[in-house]
Amino acid sequence: MNSANPPTKHHYIPAFYLKRWAGPDGKVTEFTKPHRRVVVKRIMPERTGYQERLYELKGYEPELAQQVEQKFFKAIDTWASDALDMLERHGHYAPWNSHSRSAWTRFILSLLLRCPEDIALFREWWHTDFGRTDEAAEARYRAARDSGNPETFAEFLNSRPLGLKERYQYQVFFSLIDHGSIGGEMNDMHWRVLQTPTEAPTLLTSDRPILRTSSIKGPQSHLVLPIGPRLLFIASPDADFLKQVLRADQVGLTKEVNRQVAEGAARFVYGVDDKQFRFVQNRLGKTPQPRLMERLIEMRMADAKR
């Protein structure tokens, strides 16, 4: 698709990731609950886990409006695909370098921040916060204001073109995914890949696939991501905790991961087949996953009040 007609189907659960659950027909099993009952179907990974124009830049010409998807998320997903291939081949012993390790970290952070409700929440906060000023800023504006400009700095900011606001919005959004402190902590964690036993059910994934503790610091803090029907990525700063996990009952661990994945889903759960239909039916979306974006916005709002 050329730049004059850029793609508008924006995946928040990338197809390269979901393909790990695809069968010989190239399809994954999708569980969703459009009304009261769970519906199951086979579907190509490219045809699920997306929203039309999710990352579109409002106020831009059509050929430029999809830059966030084309230039930012496409790069993240391409590099992460290579990192996931390496995890599958080498497990614990993947030959990481600074680029590949950072690529996987960025992908993990993006999954925590790029879903539809994250973008909607961030956009709402940004456009509300964009015109917020303090007395010092207003005083500087009054001192430099031309006669034709709005009376207050807040009015001036709110009068800016939508495209400009959107561009600044995504610059801040990118800084969250590329957050040096959080990314550094993730890079410094111990990373393991657990292969589940054949007697365990296959791992599920979802449109909110990452399981995590409220903090990624301290004893037993961790982050978990199913990366295939039999592979589980686990990261923790606590090496002793990881040893305990790898020695734990793997069947029970798999079932617990599947429970949390299904209960934390927003719309979709995915698997290799429909054998766990009853399991998913009883749990899909039961306990919505707390979103990192909510926490980040709360922190920014608290900082603004100080």
223 with 108: CB under 8 angstroms? Answer: yes
User: Which conformational region is residue 49 in: left (phi greater than 0), alpha (psi within -120 to 50 degrees), or beta?
Assistant: left
102 with 109: CB under 8 angstroms? Answer: no
The verdict on residue 152 lying in a domain is no
pLDDT of residue 258: 98
Give the 3-state secondary structure of residue 193.
strand
Lowest mean pLDDT among 42-51, 76-85, 179-188, 191-200: 179-188
The verdict on residue 231 lying in a domain is yes
Instruction: Indicate the number of domains in the chain.
Output: 1
Residue 3 above 70 pLDDT?
Answer: no
Cβ contacts of 241 within 8 Å, gap of 6 or more: 219, 220, 222
189 with 237: CB under 8 angstroms? Answer: yes
Q: What's the pLDDT tens digit per position in 57-94? A: 999 998 889 999 999 999 999 999 999 999 999 998 99
pLDDT > 70: what percent of the chain? 97
Joined together, the tokens standing for residue 300 give: 């920014």
Q: What is the largest CA-CA distance in the chain?
A: 76
Residue 4 above 60 pLDDT?
Answer: no
The verdict on residue 168 lying in a domain is no
The verdict on residue 156 lying in a domain is no
Joined together, the tokens standing for residue 167 give: 């561009």
Model confidence at 17, in pLDDT bands (50, 70, 90)? very high
The verdict on residue 147 lying in a domain is no
The verdict on residue 158 lying in a domain is no
Q: How far apart are CA 22 and CA 42, in angstroms?
A: 9
- Crossing angle between the packed helical segments 116-129 and 162-177, to the nearest 10 degrees: 120
Q: By residue range, what is the domain housing residue 14?
A: 9-121+176-297
The verdict on residue 157 lying in a domain is no
Q: What's the pLDDT tens digit per position in 124-148? A: 998 888 888 989 999 999 999 998 9
The verdict on residue 45 lying in a domain is yes
